[in-house]
Amino acid sequence: MLLSVSLLLLVCGSQAVHYYGTVMTYYPKEMMTNGSLLVNVRYKLSFVACTANDTWSCSGNCGSETADVELNVVDESPGEWCQREGIMTRLVSGTAPFQLQLDGGNWITGIINSIVSWRAVTDVELSFRSDSNQINTSPVTTILPALRIPSNCPRNISLLAFDPDGDEVRCRNGITSDSECNPCTPPSVLSLSSSCSLSFSPTNSSNEGPYAVQLVMEDFPRQNINLFQPDGSLVQKTTNEAISKIPVQFVWKVGPPVPSCAEGDYLPRFLSPTPEHRAQLYVPAGQALVISIRAQATQSNINGLLYSGPHNAVKASLGSGSFSLTWTPSASEDGQSHPICFVVQANYSNTLLHSDLRCVIVMVGNGPSTSTPVVYGTTPSPPVTNLTTSAPGPEYVIALNMMISTTLSMEDNSDAILALIKSKLIEKGLPSDVSLRLLSSGLVVVTTSSP
């Protein structure tokens, strides 16, 4: 009997230590005819296991959830963490604010800055703004559950900080006295700027291990504005007064040193055609967006891509440090902005290493749906336009603009690319004997002997 009780205690203790962080954003969805408002709240929960769970409590103008929230796996690092996404739709009475709070314990084992229990708070502000006459939205961001850095390598991590209203986004450490975390002790090895950049300086081996990062991200108007309250009153917000706030919590893992901190040696370095950090990408609802990602590490073994974003994005490994993320937004996401962040992971002497953090914002825009994916990672020309010809007499192409989206390298695969262009030109009505020649400037010369 004593053996059975001991085993039960061990299982419970193991399940209690598992939290890797959270992040939350919200977006007003629809104003109903009776004045109530549908609000989409999207959040990530990260634990050691994909089966772990926790729920947000609500205070204020909470209204009701229109359906049960289902947590869907975004991505996982097997044996380390699993991140899942929940989409909560609340029907609230008017535009009065409310607050969501997540409480529990424990963070993962060995947190160096002595954080045990977790708490995260979101202030949802739904008032109409005088500058846009629109309902306020939160800042938009996401984060991986864990970021890794060798103890001897300096690193600046610029978090994604975007606001659909055009507000200035600022970051700060949580404040214990404001009950924003429990407690809010920041990592001693990190410094945070208000522009949401984390700086790490080389440290000694005694500081290696995991740290709990508990940040608050806020939006500030770029000019003094009024918020229209449900009772008809106005509340002024100055450029130094936050409108709303969201939590950004994750683990910072300081690992053993590496022989070189130069990107591309042991730490993976991003290569073209990977989009730039904080790039804004556009895709119509119902159309597939493909993000091409490529990295190199000459002294370590690249073994995967880790990302945080919509749970229904599809990750693919294409070999030789090349990956892709494909996401097709739904019609319900039209007009919204969605964050995607990723790192490329490598292995050196059984130590996992991460590239720099790279993030993009995906704008879901109006437009006709099409089966042709939008591919990011190339430098396309403008979309295809109609052919202009002279008449009467033989037809001559005066101008042709064509979008070329491909993961192929122009340097190494020019013949294949030219063959694809030729096939498309013939499909558009040019004669089958058309020939193509690539100039050093990147222009393509098209000729034909047909009359």
Report yes or no on 335 lying in a domain: yes
Q: Are residues 137 and 187 in the same domain?
A: yes
Same domain, 363 and 443: no
Same domain, 227 and 337: yes
Residue 320 within any structural domain of the chain: yes
Q: What is the pLDDT of residue 438?
A: 60
Straight-line distance from the first to the last Cα atom of the chain, in angstroms, rounded to the nearest whole number: 96
Same domain? For 206 and 339 the reply is yes
Map residue 426 onto helix, strand or coil: helix
Are 103 and 244 in the same domain?
Answer: yes
Query: What are residue 8's phi and psi, to 5 degrees?
Result: -65, -40
Residue 10 lies in a domain: no
Whether residue 2 is contained in a domain is answered as no
Mean pLDDT per 10-residue section of the chain, whose length is 451 residues? 35 57 96 92 97 93 93 96 97 94 95 97 96 95 98 97 97 97 97 98 97 98 94 92 98 98 98 97 96 98 98 96 97 95 97 98 72 59 32 39 55 65 69 64 56 47
Could you tell me if residue 325 is inside a domain? yes
0.95 exceeded by the pTM? no
Q: What is the pLDDT of residue 386?
A: 31
Angle at 421 between CA 415 and CA 422, to 5 degrees: 85
The residue from 349, 374, 399 where one domain ends is: 374
Q: Is there a domain that residue 444 lies in? A: yes
Give the pLDDT of residue 404: 59
187 lies in the same domain as 325? yes
Q: How many CA atoms lie within 13 A of 143 on its CB side?
A: 32
Write down which residue in 350, 374, 398 finishes a domain. 374
Question: Among 326, 344, 374, which residue terminates a domain?
Answer: 374
Residue (of 386, 388, 426, 416) closest to 402 by Cα position: 386
Total residues belonging to the chain: 451
Task: Provide the pLDDT for residue 390.
Answer: 31
Whether residue 252 is found in the same domain as residue 387: no
pLDDT for 393 equals: 37
| pLDDT for position 444 | 63
Question: Domain total for the chain?
Answer: 2
Q: Are residues 351 and 404 in the same domain?
A: no
In this structure, is residue 351 part of a structural domain?
Answer: yes
428 shares its domain with 293: no
Please report whether residue 8 resides in a domain. no
Is the sign of the CA dihedral 69, 72, 77, 78 positive or negative? positive
With H, G, I as helix, E, B as strand and everything else as coil, classify residue 311. coil
pLDDT for 216 equals 98
- The rounded distance, in Å, linking the Cα atoms of 443 and 426 is 18
pLDDT for the residue 148: 98
pLDDT given for residue 53 in this prediction: 87
Domain span including residue 147: 17-374
The pLDDT value recorded for residue 447 is 62
Q: What is the pLDDT of residues 202-240, one digit of tens each?
A: 999 999 999 999 999 999 999 999 999 888 889 999 999
Is 253:354 a contact under the CB 8 Å cutoff? no
Range list of β-strands (E), 50-206: 57-60, 64-65, 72-77, 81-92, 98-105, 117-124, 128-129, 146-150, 155-158, 168-173, 190-192, 197-200
